[in-house]
Structure 1
C-alpha cells in the first residue's frame, strides 16, 4: 500500500472556500452556510464533535473573508484546523443567543445555500432571527461543489480503491460455505482496516436470495454451496472513499447464473466506455440499462448506475436518467449495474471511475469475471 499522502494545506482550504463563495454568487446566492459534516471538513479541515447541539457554522460570501461561528469552548480546537489561518473566528458563549451572533454576518436578507448536515434546530433559529432570509440545500444549489477532484484528492481516491482491491483479493481466500454472512462481512471489515481504512462504512454480503436485495444487511444466513454471493464494501482511507462490488459463487455456477453475471459484466463495460468529457451523467446510466434491457432483464435493474464519491462514499454526481450534468475531468463516481431476481439471487459489479481528458480510468482493477470460492 502507498504511504500517507501529503496533508492538505491552509492554502488548499482557502482556495476551496473561495471557490465555494464564487460559485454561490454565480448561482445567485447571497452566500453559503456550512454546519459540521463532510462539507465543513472539505472546506476547512475542521471536524468538531459530531454530537453537539451548539451552533457551529461557516459563513462564506463572495468578496468577504470566511467566518466560522463556534461555541467558545470549541474555539481552541477550531483554531488548530488546517484552514483556520484563512478564517475569522466568531465565538459565542453558553447562555447567549448564537443566532444573534450569526445574524450580522448575513445582512438580514437574501437566499443562502445551506449544508445538508445542518440541524433543523439551527435552520429554524436562523429563520426566526432573520425572517427576510431564505435557504436552499447545497446539493440543490451547488451540486457539483465537491464533484471535481484535484490531483491530491485523486491520489487519495486511488489509494482507497487499491486498498479495497487488496481486500477483495484476500477475501477470495477465506471459506464461504458453512459460515454466516455476518462472518464474511466481519472479515471484509478487518481487511479494509488492515489495508489502511480508518473508517468502514458498509460490508454487504448478500448470499443466495439475499443477493436480490441491493442493500442487504449481512445477517445469520449460512452460506451454502451453490450460492451466488454479492459483495459490496467500502469506507474511508486518508479521508476519501472506496466502494467496490464483485459477485462470487460458492462452487461452480449454473448456466443461468453465469449468463446473468456475463450480462452485468458487459453492461458495466458498456457504461465505462460511455464515460468521456462532455457526455451527460445520464449517458452512463443509459449505456448500462440498454444492454441489460436488451438481454431481457430491464425490470430487474432497480437502481441508478452510479453515484459520486469523495469525502463521503455517496455524493453528487449521480449516473441516472434525467441527470444532464456534463462529465468533466476529475469527476469520480461508481459504475455499478446489477440484476436482481427476487427469491433467487442477484449480481452486481462496481468500480470507481474518474473522468480523464479523453475518457475514463478505473480506480478498481480486480477481475470482473465471476470468481469461484469455497
Structure 2
C-alpha cells in the first residue's frame, strides 16, 4: 500500500485537527492605502486619468469593500490624483457606508436613473473633462457597454495594466497569508489520503475536505467543490460530472484549496490506492520530473513562459507523449498566478514574456493526461524571493511515499 494512504477514518482525522489560522497578520488599511498609491503612480506613468472599479475582487483588493456582483452598478472611481469616490444604489448607501475601510465620498443613483451616467458625471466632477478612463478588467459587459455609451468624451482602456501590475507582485504580508493557506491545504491533503478505503465515494471525500478546512481555519471556496477523482476520471483536468467509488489500484487525484484572509491556496496530489503498477510508476515519475524542471526554470528575470517550456519540454521528449497540447501529454498551461483569486496574473504559459520578479506567486502543475487510463497532476505553488524561487510547501516525494513520511 502507498505510504500514508488509508488506515484511518474521517472521524479520527477530524478529531485531531486544530485551528492553524492564528499568528499571521491579515491585510489592513495601511496595506490598502499603499496599493492605492501604487495604482495612482502607475496611472500617472500610463497617462490614465481615472480607474473605474466594479463589484469585483479588484474593488476588494484596493478598498476592502467586499460586495456581491448584481445587475446594479456598485463600485468606485480612483482618480490618478485625489481620493476614492464610491458609487452605490441609493437604497444601499447606508450599508455601503457601514462597510467602508477606506474613507471616501459616496455618490448614489436611484432605480430609475442611468448608473453609467453617474460614473461619467463623477469623473467630470473630479476635474477630468476628457482623457483616458481605465475600466476594471473583471467588470461585466453590461456595465462596460453602458460606460461606452455614456462616456464618449473619454477613451476607455483596459484597467488590467493597473490592477494586474499591482496584484501580481505580492508583499511579504501577502506571501505569509499564501504560505499559511498552503500549509493548511497540505494538512488537509494528508488527512484525506489517510481516510481512503476501498469503496469510499468521491462525495464523502469532498465533504470531509470541506469540514477539514473549517476545522483547520481555512475558508472553503463559496463556488465549486474540491476536485476528487478516482481511476480513469483522473485524466480529466477539471473533473467529471459523476461520482466514483474507489477501487484497489486506482489512481487518486485531489485538487483542493482554501482562503485565509482572502488569499487562496491551490494544491493537487495524485497517488495510487494500493500499489503502483509499472505504467503508473513510470508516468508518475515523469510528472514529478516535469514539475521540478518547471521549478528549475523559474529564475529571476526569466520570462513566465520559460517555466512552461521547462516542464512541457520534458514531457514532450518522453516516448509515447504528444506535443503542442495534444494527448497523451500536457493539454494545458503549466501554471497560473495565485493570490486573492485562484487563477490570476501572471500565467505560466507560452508567449507570456513578462519577466519573473520578486513577489510573483504562481502554481507549477504540468498535468499528464492519458484519456482512457488515468491522469497525474502534481501541483504546488511557488514564489519569487530575493534569492530566487521557493516552494510554499514541500512537493510530493515519491510514488510510494507521496507525503515523504519515510523520506
Question: What is the TM-score with the length of structure 2 in the denominator?
Answer: 0.85
Preserved CA contact (<8 Å) 2:234 2:252: yes
What secondary structure is seen at the aligned counterpart in 2 of 1:144? helix
- Aligned match of 1:99 in 116, 127, 149? 116
Task: Give 1:8 deviation, angstroms.
Answer: 2.8
Tell me if 1:227 matches 2:246. Answer: no
What secondary structure is seen at the aligned counterpart in 2 of 1:354? strand
In structure 2, distance between residues paired with 1:321 and 1:93:
47
Residues 203-212 or 302-311, more deviating: 203-212
In structure 1, distance between residues paired with 2:214 and 2:318:
39
Question: What is the TM-score with the length of structure 1 in the denominator?
Answer: 0.92
What secondary structure is seen at the aligned counterpart in 1 of 2:166? coil
Residue in 2 that maps onto 1:70: 88
Preserved CA contact (<8 Å) 2:335 2:362: yes
Q: Map of 1:1-374 to 2, 5 A cutoff?
A: 1-3=20-22, 5-48=24-67, 50-81=68-99, 83-85=101-103, 87-106=104-123, 107=128, 109-139=130-160, 143-200=164-221, 201-217=224-240, 219-296=242-319, 297-299=321-323, 300-365=329-394, 367-370=396-399
In structure 1, distance between residues paired with 2:161 and 2:206:
35
Residues 57-66 or 258-267, more deviating: 57-66
Question: What stretches of structure 2 of length at least 5 have no aligned partner?
Answer: 1-19, 324-328, 403-407
Task: Give 1:131 deviation, angstroms.
Answer: 1.9
Preserved CA contact (<8 Å) 1:33 1:57: yes
Q: State the Cα RMSD in Å.
A: 2.1
Task: Give 1:319 deviation, angstroms.
Answer: 0.5
Give runs of ≥4 in structure 1 deviating > 6 Å. none
In structure 1, distance between residues paired with 2:191 and 2:271:
13
Task: Give 1:194 deviation, angstroms.
Answer: 2.0
In structure 1, distance between residues paired with 2:159 and 2:88:
21
Task: Give 1:326 deviation, angstroms.
Answer: 0.6
Question: What stretches of structure 1 of length at least 5 have no aligned partner?
Answer: none
Task: Give 1:51 deviation, angstroms.
Answer: 4.6
Choose between structure 1 and 2: higher strand proportion. Answer: 1
Residues 353-362 or 56-65, more deviating: 56-65
Show CA shifts across 1:63-96 (max 9, x none).
12221111223223333445322x2322233333
Preserved CA contact (<8 Å) 2:382 2:389: yes
Task: Give 1:345 deviation, angstroms.
Answer: 0.3
In structure 2, distance between residues paired with 1:8 and 1:348:
32
